[in-house]
Amino acid sequence: MGVNKKVFIGVDIGSVSVNLAIIDEKRNIIAKRYIRTSGAPVAAVKCALGEQKELFENNGFEVCGVATTGSGRNLIGHLIGADEIKNEITAHAVASMYYYPDVSTIIEIGGQDSKIIIIRNGVVVDFAMNTICAAGTGSFLDQQAQRLGIDIKDFGGYAVKSSSPTKIAGRCGVFAESDMIHKQQVGYCREDIIAGLCFALAHNYLNNVGRGKKIENKVVFQGGVAANEGIIKAFSEILARPIHVCRHYDVMGAIGAAMIAAKRFEKESVFKTAFKGFESLEGEIASATFECGQCSNSCEIISVKKDGKKLFNMGGRCGRFDYA
């Protein structure tokens, strides 16, 4: 019987997708997965993990560390037994700096939010996030692609064919949509309208998320929207510099999380992962909320149960009910 190969799992639980990455000790990607949550993140993570079970059984992989990141990192982290639960800024920065050691600016645009990370000499010195306006996110492009009757996968291809992008008011999703409809009605071609939408999104991002930030080379673009050639072209022209897109652009948060788990394993001489296994999400998982009235904060506490048995609480500021 050979020695099991040590691997590390990173899970990025976002509002639109769940991304999973598995790496070995040398940071090679063993597997990766991008799954739409469809409003059910626990089910999506269960699916992503379940798909890897056979891979592990057939190759003798040993899970030596697990980390979660993203907006759902705490819930999923406690459910699956994550060794590290890290914010998205840290996870994205770790992955980006691994593939691009000289990165200075990270542009990350996902389905429902976007962020900018400023790095100097290998250290995150500033960041900003936008979770309010949909005009600067992937969901905005999804909606407009549907309105134009094209697949979002073809969106960027249309944009780069444009020779004269039309100007779209991109500060607000509602106004941008109205402006796009007007441009259709007065006869602008589809390619120019789509290119205009890409430039509108890029300008919206830079004027809001990137406001006051000094964007320097090297610029790395990641997140699901980085698949869009039109957005890449828009950022490149506006910033007057090349935009670098890693081949793993869609799961960089998960890769960063996996790398964080690997570093934790390497740092401690005696370490046993808390990972509960690929069946950790089996059964009926449900949550309920109640309000803590112990102080003026009136925290909303989330109580999580599995098959009717209480697992843990989360959500309080003081930790009074956590894991109780």
Q: Is 308 in a helix, a strand, or coil?
A: coil
The 8-class DSSP code of residue 214 comes to -
Measure the CA–CA gap between 64 and 260, rounded to whole angstroms. Answer: 12
Measure the CA–CA gap between 149 and 43, rounded to whole angstroms. Answer: 30
**Backbone angles phi and psi of 283, in degrees to 5:** 95, 180
pLDDT at 121: 93
Centre a 10 Å sphere on the Cβ of residue 45 and count the other Cβ atoms it contains: 24
| Spatial contact of 32 and 52, defined as CB atoms under 8 Å apart | no
Pick from 198-212, 237-251, 252-266: least confident: 198-212
pLDDT at 1: 42
In a domain, 278, yes or no: no
Distances, alpha carbon 4 to alpha carbons 63, 174, 197, 299, in Å: 9, 54, 50, 45
Q: Is 324 in a helix, a strand, or coil?
A: coil
Q: Do residues 108 and 202 both lie within one domain?
A: yes
pLDDT at 324: 52
In a domain, 23, yes or no: yes
| Spatial contact of 205 and 135, defined as CB atoms under 8 Å apart | no
Domain that holds residue 55: 5-92+253-267
In a domain, 209, yes or no: yes
Q: Do residues 258 and 293 both lie within one domain?
A: no
Report pLDDT digits (tens) over 295-316.
888 888 888 888 888 888 887 8
CATH number at residue 131: 3.30.420.40
pLDDT at 131: 58
Please confirm whether the linkage preceding 267 is cis (ω < 30° from 0).
no
Report pLDDT digits (tens) over 154-199.
888 888 988 888 888 766 656 677 777 777 778 788 889 889 888 8
Strands, E assignment, the chain: 5-13, 17-24, 29-36, 61-69, 84-85, 105-109, 114-120, 123-130, 219-222, 243-244, 285-291, 300-306, 309-314
Q: Do residues 37 and 77 both lie within one domain?
A: yes
In a domain, 143, yes or no: yes
**Backbone angles phi and psi of 321, in degrees to 5:** -105, -5
In a domain, 319, yes or no: no
pLDDT at 31: 95
The one-letter amino acid code at 35 reads I
Q: Do residues 119 and 52 both lie within one domain?
A: no
In a domain, 111, yes or no: yes
Report pLDDT digits (tens) over 212-252.
999 998 999 999 889 999 999 999 999 999 999 999 999 99
Q: Do residues 144 and 63 both lie within one domain?
A: no
- Dihedral, CA of residue 151, residue 154, residue 159 and residue 162, to nearest 10: -100
Q: Do residues 112 and 66 both lie within one domain?
A: no
Q: Is the pLDDT of residue 76 over 80?
A: yes
Report pLDDT digits (tens) over 88-124.
999 999 999 999 999 999 999 987 788 999 999 999 9
Angle made by CA atoms 30, 31, 37, in degrees to the nearest 5: 155
Q: What is the mean pLDDT of the chain?
A: 88
Number of domains observed in the structure of the chain: 3
The crossing angle, in degrees rounded to 10, of helices 190-208 and 173-185 is: 160
Angle made by CA atoms 278, 280, 285, in degrees to the nearest 5: 140
